[in-house]
Amino acid sequence: MTKILKTGVVGWPISHSLSPKLHNYWLQKYGISGKYEAYAVKPEDLAAFLKKLPKKDITGLNLTVPHKEIVFPFLDEVDDVARRIGAVNMVTRREGRLFGTNTDGYGFLTNLKEKVPSWKATDGPAVIIGAGGAARAAIVSLLDDGVPEIRLINRTRARADNLAEIYNDRRIVVSDWQDRSQKLLGAALLVNTTTLGMTGKPSLDIDLCDLPPHAVVYDIVYNPLETGLLKAARSQGNICVDGLGMLLYQAAPAFQEWFGQNPEVDIDLRQHLLRTVKVIGLTGSIGMGKSETAKMFERAYVPVFDSDAAVHILMAKGGAAVGRVEKAFPGVRSPDGIDRKRLGSMVFSDGEALKKLESILHPMVSDMRQVFFEKAEEQGHDMVVVDVPLLFETGGEAHCDYTVVVSAPADVQRMRVLARPDMTVTKLENILSKQMPDSEKRQRADFIVQSDQGIRYAEDQVNHIIEKIRTTK
């Protein structure tokens, strides 16, 4: 039996954390047998919680407020990066010992360079607003990268003076809060490391008139994604960087350390984290009743995105994929779009050809799905269904909050499928050989709809699933 690697994030409070949604997305995407959970631990209980890690069989933890600074005495070893930043955000248990490090600086700088490849630390002075833990991570990473000057500004000057004293680097120059707007003159980078501008918090009051047009503006706040600061900066032509990428990139080293996989930070991951509507992945083998179950969700006012229907639209006459598919597979175009039967004869027995087709269609379907999600959110829906025939086989569950498998006994399935025109036993066996066994799908699903007990019974199951998801925090 494969061992499940247990990890998680510790904080007080912790319900706001996106880390479980982030790490569990990667676990599903890469098919890793692991678990990442949120642990609400009071500051006074942190030491006792860490002592219990071996008993709980927890391999690693991320730390968030208020534990990053107070955890030092409870660890066996802390690296130089964490000591310089003055905070630990990652703990790993190795051979009974606890090792602490900090990946916030890495996340801060990697996000900046990924979003603005042309930016260089040597471009000019950086203005940092704030003097907390995030400011420390930004200061250390920028100093190490060669920034010529850091203009450090905080509402309470004493805290900024204290940071400058700790780092004892002549490149750090502390200024008064009332001078914050004037200190933007000649700057190449402006960074807000405070909570000002976050949803429910006061806005950051700063005049950007003296900020050069070539300067980059970086706000570590990601709720909202476009803060007032970024909106003002964008309106005058500055390049803007939001804070979500910092969260994603700081998580990557921890995931690689614990699970041995260097995870990809891409647009699908960002969309997954930003999405507020809950996504239900609906799947089931041929003949199980998936299409009828999708209609039951629609009758319960849950919008359904049909992946197969999306592919049909893309490859129909005038479809966005027609030209690219024809170019990749000459001769498959017809007056009505792509001849799917002719295309199928080319790709379904050729693994490389199938991958080529998927590389064309999958991004397009993903874009259509994202538009569908956004429209559902605008209309006030709290959940949607994504109907995907090969959900588990293609790793599609990574994009879902819940999975539902429609199932029936094998003899019922066989009877249903063989009743279809042009279906034969050989064809059925060939189809089933390319699908994950129903028993495995059932095991991996969050919910199961049994479709052989009549429409009313199945509809009751669907309604129960909707209610369960709606009442689950």
Catalytic residues: 68
Q: Which long-range contacts (CB under 8 A, 24 or more apart) does 169-178 make?
A: 169/143, 171/143, 171/147, 172/139, 172/143, 173/149, 175/151, 177/153
Torsion of CA 84, 88, 89, 93, to 10 degrees: 130
Q: Which amino acid is at 335?
A: P
Task: Give backbone dihedrals phi and psi of 97, rounded to 5 degrees, phi first.
Answer: -115, 150
Residue type for 63, please? L
Strands (E), 95-133: 97-101, 126-129
Backbone angles phi, psi at 395, to 5 degrees: 75, 15
In a 3-state reduction of DSSP, which class is residue 423? coil
Q: Can you point out the beta strands (E) in 178-303?
A: 189-192, 216-219, 239-241, 278-283
DSSP string for residues in 311-361:
HHHHHBTT-TTHHHHHHHSTT-EETTEE-HHHHHHHHTT-HHHHHHHHHHH
Instruction: Retrieve residue 192's tokens.
Output: 């807000």
Going by their DSSP bridges, the two strands 90-94 and 97-101 should be labelled as antiparallel
Return the exposure string of 118-135: e unless at least 16 CB atoms fall within 10 Å of the residue's CB, then b: ebebebbbbbbbbbbbbb
Closest CA to 38 of 59, 12, 69: 12
CA terminus-to-terminus distance, the chain: 31
The label of the residue with tokens 């920028």 reads 142
CA 45 – CA 86 distance, rounded (Å): 21
